[in-house]
Amino acid sequence: MSREVTINIKTIQTDSKGNSDDIELVTRGDIYEEDGVIYVVYEETELSGMEGTTTTLKIFDNQVVLKRLGQNTSDMIFEKGKRFKTKYKTFHGDISMELLTTAVDVNVDKKQCKVDVDIAYDINISGVFEGKNKMNIRIS
């Protein structure tokens, strides 16, 4: 059974020259647990630039899978020490993306109904952008 939650996602993206950009998204979504895996589902908004896209997070103890369907389609797997190559499909065309996850920290507090996820990863987008990202996801 799912319940409505507030999802706060803050990403700090630092490019290879050391310039950083902070992006924060606060939205409503649904959370449920199935076979020990936590699922969080929310609709992207115009603010994220991905309106018409549904995002699903599958949260395991040491891995997070981010799946987007709709106007923008992508799969991202974050697992410490693992490299992941994917295609990011947009209405402008496909973009190749490579991730190398350097940290995944998942904290679940069932009593408080909170989930905190911290992810750090290196990203390379079609050789056009290279940088380091830190993503902090708070669900309550």
At 51 the pLDDT is: 84
**Predicted model pTM:** 0.92
At residue 80's C-alpha, the angle toward residues 75 and 86, to 5°, is 25
The mean per-residue pLDDT over the stretch 114-124 comes to: 97
Res. 92: pLDDT tops 90:
no
Instruction: Report how far residue 11's alpha carbon sits from residue 4's, in angstroms, rounded to the nearest whole number.
Output: 22
Q: How confident is the model at residue 52 (pLDDT cuts 50, 70, 90)?
A: confident
